[in-house]
Amino acid sequence: MKAVRSVLEYLQGMGVKHVFGIPAGSVNGFFNELYDMPEITPVVTKHEGAAGYMAASYAKYSNQLSVCIGSSGPGGTNLVTGAANAMREHLPVLFLTGAVPVSTMGLNASQELDADRVFKSVTKYSVTVTDSKNLLAEIVKAVEIAISGVPGPVHVAMPIDIQHSPVGEVKIPAPIKRESMTPDLEAIKKAAKEMAERKSGYIFAGQGARNSTEALIELAELLGWPIMVSPQAKGIIRHDHPLFAGIFGFAGSESASTLMNEGDANTLLVVGSSLGETATNNYNANMAQDRFLVQLDFDASVFNRKYEVDVPVLGDIQLSLVFLIEELKALGLTAKPLKPLELAEKEEELEEYSTKNVLLKLQEYLPASTRYTIDIGEFMAYVIHHMKVLDEGTFDINVHFGAMGSGLSAAIGSKFAEPERPTVAITGDGCFFMHGMEILTAKEYNLPILFVVMNNARLGMVYHGHALQFKRVHASFEQEPIDISAMAKAMNIPSYRVDGMGDLNPEILENLMNMNGPAVLEVALVDNNTPPMGDRVKFLSSFGK
């Protein structure tokens, strides 16, 4: 048995069904073995960076290990952004790269790269294997590190000769399962006692709570406390829940901002948020001002970063929530009839041809269960601020790391993980020109994804942010308008171009959503309204004075 075959048999045992990446000479041993393993499908992308985003999205929605592969040298460096993205999202992705033969290392071999060191700062573990007898053991070690504790990406570089080397008959290790992180019961008891005695409070949930919606809602209803979520966590709570108070953070809602800044609650329960810049509206001091702060997380490093935490509870979010609920019930708390929060919601004006109105009209016509994977651009602020959550798990917003083009590929990874879920990627022309060719990947694998391209012929978020901060905009931020729908047609991908509100109708969207593959909806629109970016511009404007 070749060393690389043992790796693939182990990954198959771990439940791996897809490998995202691009074949090349330095990983030909890996791909050659896949011929004889139909249980694992190689998803050949157009760019390694996109493969990294797909693998991360697949890990997120399949709740299992994902695998991504690239060549030595440039293939590896192209994967680094995807690894950094997975690291920020705590997603278990095994990044594999080829490497030059061990005998030529240090001799300026073609596409040579010390990938081990390159990946170290953006992964939990990174290694180059120089002995074929160690390859499987290093893969097993890396996988265990990826899924244990705080999940995250790992990297293993496999030299060409190491992959092909025979290792005899090898016993394939049993699949590894993640061990739960049980929270400390004393911390749970202290948190419950303080919360019960203080009575008034708010719950602020981040992306770490994405698999714990039911428990989160039960806790909120038991306490009767309003729930706010970070932009990254949009989608975990339906907008019509009586206790949902909106999104706090970048492009958040006025209702949430008013509560957090002016509300009289004396307790803040943070669930699964690292309290980073976009989640806290630029580290807003009012969040914890004169409030008792309880924070639930599985990552100890998030405690006391910017805000002093009175009771940190370390453990898996789901377990911590369940334990906290039981302890509060033991203290005598019972759920009471819910009175909907009084939130001042503005009437939406849907006549103007604007980014906001196009997005709201799209959502009106598309199924409530549609998952929207959102790219990075001015449209993202409108999505966060205006689109409603009609069903759980329907928004994928990666503003935390903010890689342009990630939303396009996230749609593909998500579709592989949940084929029955209607999926729409909302992107912009800037992101499309970076990773738009991945619509061909969707075509080649017959994935019915609708790619909505907001085409304003400029880098919209940069344009508006620069104009607000410096009162002028460089001419190079704008570009010659390109007919993206025509580009799609040239690739034999169905497309439709929107030039006004009247061009949007249910029939068009239904047709585009029910293809045997992807479709492109181009929205040609230059919107000079200021995006709802919250305090982001104020934060940037504080520099360079």
Provide the pLDDT for residue 132: 95
Q: Which of 363, 385, 437, 449 is nearest to 413 (CA)?
A: 449
Confidence (pTM): 0.93
**Do 509 and 521 form a contact (C-beta atoms < 8 A)?**
yes
Average pLDDT for 376-397: 95
Average pLDDT for 60-74: 97
Q: What are the tens digits of pLDDT across the range 481-528?
A: 899 999 999 999 999 999 999 999 999 999 999 999 999 999 999 877
Please provide residue 156's backbone torsions phi and psi, each rounded to the nearest 5 degrees.
-130, 125
Which two structure tokens, joined as six digits, stand for 343?
């939130």
Which two structure tokens, joined as six digits, stand for 54?
């797909």
Collapsed DSSP state (helix, strand, coil) of residue 69: strand
Residue-wise DSSP of 300-331: GGGTTSSS--SEEEES-HHHHHHHHHHHHHHT
Percent of the chain with pLDDT over 90: 83
Kindly indicate the confidence band of residue 220, based on its pLDDT and cuts at 50, 70 and 90.
Answer: very high
Domains and CATH numbers, the chain: 3-164 (3.40.50.970), 185-330 (3.40.50.1220), 355-541 (3.40.50.970)
Kindly indicate the confidence band of residue 224, based on its pLDDT and cuts at 50, 70 and 90.
Answer: very high
Kindly indicate the confidence band of residue 479, based on its pLDDT and cuts at 50, 70 and 90.
Answer: confident
Instruction: In whole angstroms, give the CA distance from residue 101 to residue 470.
Output: 52
User: What's the one-letter identity of residue 475?
Assistant: A
Q: What are the tens digits of pLDDT across the range 300-352?
A: 999 999 999 999 999 999 999 999 999 999 999 998 888 888 776 665 677 89
Provide the pLDDT for residue 109: 82
Provide the pLDDT for residue 342: 75
* Burial class for 500, CB neighbours closer than 10 Å (0-12, 13-18, 19+): exposed
Kindly indicate the confidence band of residue 48, based on its pLDDT and cuts at 50, 70 and 90.
Answer: very high
Number of H helices and number of E strands within the chain? 20, 18
Q: Is 335 left (phi over 0), alpha (psi -120 to 50) or beta?
A: beta
Instruction: In whole angstroms, give the CA distance from residue 149 to residue 245.
Output: 31
Strand order of the β-sheet with 244-247 is: 244-247, 227-229, 202-205, 267-271, 292-297, 311-314
Provide the pLDDT for residue 263: 93
Q: What are the tens digits of pLDDT across the range 119-167?
A: 999 999 999 999 999 999 999 999 999 999 999 999 999 999 999 999 9
Which two structure tokens, joined as six digits, stand for 540?
């940037």
Q: Pseudo-torsion of CA 131, 137, 139, 140, nearest 10°?
A: 180
Which two structure tokens, joined as six digits, stand for 457?
């012929």
The mean pLDDT of the chain is 92
Q: How many CB atoms sit inside 10 A of residue 466's CB?
A: 17
Q: What are the tens digits of pLDDT across the range 33-47?
A: 999 999 999 999 999
Provide the pLDDT for residue 286: 93
Instruction: In whole angstroms, give the CA distance from residue 521 to residue 518.
Output: 10
Provide the pLDDT for residue 147: 97
Please determine, for residue 185, whether its predicted confidence score (pLDDT) is greater than 90: yes
Which two structure tokens, joined as six digits, stand for 280?
């806290």
Q: Which of 420, 414, 416 is nearest to 395 (CA)?
A: 414
Which two structure tokens, joined as six digits, stand for 114?
């010390």
Average pLDDT for 419-436: 95
User: Which helix (H) or strand (E) element contains residue 511?
Assistant: helix 506-513
Kindly indicate the confidence band of residue 540, based on its pLDDT and cuts at 50, 70 and 90.
Answer: low
**Do 468 and 534 form a contact (C-beta atoms < 8 A)?**
no
Q: How many CB atoms sit inside 10 A of residue 490's CB?
A: 10
